[in-house]
């Protein structure tokens, strides 16, 4: 794993910036490359490590992963011979050696960059956390207008309900098995983190979004001179509040042209769930991560509603 490390020698945050956790996403490597090419390498405090390509084997074949999604198996208890499992210990050690993570991604379909933050401060068993204020400020500093939060809690809730309907009630936190990625691991290790989905892989602004996210992160943490990128018209912040899991053969989207950030109609059936029509009882809900043909037990769509989390930053 190639690393570029810079240490000011002065006390301060330890930031790690990662790319290509998914091998087919150029946002990380290209943004980090472009940033480093133009950076004067002056750090005011702390230290920063850049890892342009985390999953080198997947990057070499330009696929999301070789065997399993690295961004879902960081919490795996048993590591086997799978390509991604072999690098998990090194990636864990990398995160544990830092306080703050900026993880850069891009996506295949749709448009519009977005950032993802973790939970609110809590002492629950799923995802205990105490850096909400710092993480919210960090998330604002990367300068991405659309910000989402609340993934793991809502996914765990849906998965628990799905398991319970199949008589499986022994595990209160089933999401931990399938859903611990880079940021979740970082929070669990005592730090905080932000994922930036910089845009569609080939979109014109994908790399510039990544570069300005890196600059904004470093400025926001007081590590370099500069200005935090401006977000025109303020943030559009949403809480992911409900994950809908396919539980019945007929379940799925009624309209499968739904894309990320589409505003969903209130009162009209948008999908089948448990064999019945499902419609929303509130305005302003957007669609996230809609899936055209999920398997039973997989999510069909995630619903997100407006959040005030970034109103006062």
Q: Which residues bind Zn ion (CB under 5 A)?
A: 22, 25, 105
Listed residue (21, 13, 96, 20) closest to 48, CA to CA = 13
User: Per the structure block, which two tokens stand in for 34?
Assistant: 């472009």
Closest CB 1 distance from Zn ion, rounded Å: 17
* Residue with smaller CB distance to Zn ion, 105 or 146: 105
Closest CB 259 distance from Zn ion, rounded Å: 17
Measured from each CB, the residue nearest to Zn ion is 105
Closest CB 103 distance from Zn ion, rounded Å: 8
From residue 118, give the alpha-carbon distance in Å to each of 48, 184, 192, 197, 246.
Answer: 21, 8, 8, 14, 25
* Residue with smaller CB distance to Zn ion, 22 or 26: 22
* Residue with smaller CB distance to Zn ion, 100 or 116: 116
* Residue with smaller CB distance to Zn ion, 25 or 99: 25
Closest CB 23 distance from Zn ion, rounded Å: 9
CB 27 within 8 A of CB 35: no
Closest CB 53 distance from Zn ion, rounded Å: 13
Listed residue (297, 303, 237) closest to 270, CA to CA = 303
Strand ranges inside the chain, DSSP E: 4-7, 14-18, 47-51, 100-107, 114-117, 146-149, 192-200, 236-245, 252-253, 269-273, 276-279, 286-288, 299-306
* Residue with smaller CB distance to Zn ion, 202 or 249: 202
How many CA within 13 A on the CB side of residue 158?
A: 26
* Residue with smaller CB distance to Zn ion, 104 or 301: 104
Q: Could you tell me which residues come within 8 angstroms of residue 61 by beta carbon, excluding any fewer than 6 positions away?
A: 23
Question: What does the radius of gyration of the chain's CA atoms come to, in whole angstroms?
Answer: 19
- Span between the terminal Cα atoms of the chain, in Å: 35
Closest CB 21 distance from Zn ion, rounded Å: 6
Closest CB 105 distance from Zn ion, rounded Å: 3
* Residue with smaller CB distance to Zn ion, 160 or 179: 179
């Amino acid at each position: 794993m190639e690393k570029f490390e810079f240490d000011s020698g002065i006390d301060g945050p330890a930031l790690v910036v990662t790319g290509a956790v998914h091998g087919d996403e150029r946002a990380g490597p290209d943004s980090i490359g472009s940033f480093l090419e133009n950076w004067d390498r002056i750090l005011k405090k702390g230290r920063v490590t850049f890892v342009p390509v985390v999953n080198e084997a997947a990057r070499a074949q330009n696929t999301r992963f070789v065997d399993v999604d690295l961004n879902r198996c960081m919490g795996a208890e048993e590591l086997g011979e799978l390509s991604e499992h072999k690098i998990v210990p090194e990636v864990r050690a990398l995160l544990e050696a830092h306080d703050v993570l900026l993880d850069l991604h891009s996506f295949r379909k749709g448009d519009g960059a977005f950032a993802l933050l973790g939970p609110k401060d809590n002492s629950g068993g799923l995802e205990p956390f105490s850096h909400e204020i710092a993480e919210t400020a960090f998330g604002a500093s990367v300068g991405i207008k659309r910000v989402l939060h609340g993934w793991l809690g809502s996914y765990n809730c849906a998965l628990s309900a799905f398991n319970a309907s199949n008589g499986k009630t022994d595990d209160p936190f089933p999401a931990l098995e399938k859903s611990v990625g880079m940021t979740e691991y970082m929070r669990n290790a005592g730090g905080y983190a932000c994922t930036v989905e910089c845009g569609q892989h080939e979109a014109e602004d994908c790399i510039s979004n990544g570069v300005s996210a890196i600059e904004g992160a470093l400025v926001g943490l007081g590590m370099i001179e500069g200005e935090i990128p401006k977000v025109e018209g303020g943030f559009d912040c949403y809480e992911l509040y409900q994950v809908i899991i396919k539980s019945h053969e007929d379940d799925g989207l009624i309209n499968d042209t739904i894309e990320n950030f589409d505003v969903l109609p209130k009162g009209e059936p948008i999908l089948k769930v448990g064999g019945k029509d499902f419609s929303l009882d509130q305005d302003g809900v957007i669609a996230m991560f809609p899936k055209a043909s999920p398997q039973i037990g997989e999510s069909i769509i995630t619903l997100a509603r407006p959040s005030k989390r970034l109103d006062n930053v």
